Amino acid sequence: MNYNYIIVEDNAGALKNLQTALKPHHDFREVGVAHTLSKGISLALKARPHIIFLDVQLGDENGFNLIKEIRMLSAEIPFIIMTTDFDQYAKKAVNADVLYFLDKPIDPDELEIALQKFERRFLELQNHITLKNSEGHYFMQLDDIQYIQSDNNYCRIFRMNQPMMHVAKTLKDMEAILPLPFIRIHKSYVINSRYVKMLNTTKKIVRLAITDFEMQTEIELPISDLYLETVKSQLLTARTH
């Protein structure tokens, strides 16, 4: 899926730095730039982006006022990623429900984390994902995905009552954007924990109860030592409350 964003930034150097950092992220598309608070508000309402990259300090104006104005004028609030040179705004950003707080100049690794966090949050709200393979773009419900298997630089996605699907993403890519209840259990597997029937921490296996074209079956998958504690924590905590 392609995500649209706008940038509200009054410093030319900072704007170019952010645009350069965003260039490798082909699923994210710039749809506008504003240099003042008022133009940023107008652009956000017109373009209706998924994300606003917002400078905290726009000359004498404060970027937090843009968030306040948009909330008053629109029922659909984009995700906000704030950029600043000043750490003292971090607490205020958290209190304003800002998705992520990026220091200037932009660190590409931090930007990657911010964009992955956006995708996870977006998918949690949408409960579906768009994935591309050689045939085109496929739209699937997250609940239908039972587990995902690595296949070098591709993934095999196993879905309820549907054929296995190859997609041009690595398992690491999929892990980064999928929200809970998806859990990485092995270098080769991510599972949807909703389908877990049994966990054996001694044998280091997990058993999934899956539906394959209306036939109920079970499959056992290995858990590696690297992920065992995380799997135990997420599965046992979630199911013992």
- Output the pLDDT for position 13: 95
pLDDT at site 200 = 95
Question: Domain range for residue 16?
Answer: 3-126
**Does 132 lie in the same domain as 122?**
no
pLDDT of residue 82: 87
pTM of the model: 0.66
Whether 98 and 60 map to the same domain: the answer is yes
Question: Do the beta carbons of residue 73 and residue 25 sit within 8 Å?
Answer: no
Q: What's the CA gap between 164 and 155, in Å, rounded?
A: 10
Please identify, among 126, 161, 181, the residue that sits at the C-terminal boundary of a domain. Answer: 126
The domain spanning residue 99 has which CATH number?
Answer: 3.40.50.2300
Residues 154, 236: one domain?
A: yes
Contact 82, 51 (CB under 8 A): no
In angstroms, the CA 187 to CA 171 distance is 8
| 15 & 121 share domain | yes
Residues 156-194 have pLDDT tens digits of 999 988 889 999 889 998 988 888 889 999 999 999 999
Which helix (DSSP H) or strand (DSSP E) does residue 151 occupy? strand 145-151
Query: Which residue bears the tokens 């997420």?
Result: 234
Low-confidence ranges of the chain (pLDDT < 50): 95, 240-241
Report strand pairing: 61-62 vs 57-58. Answer: antiparallel
Together in a domain, 65 and 167 = no
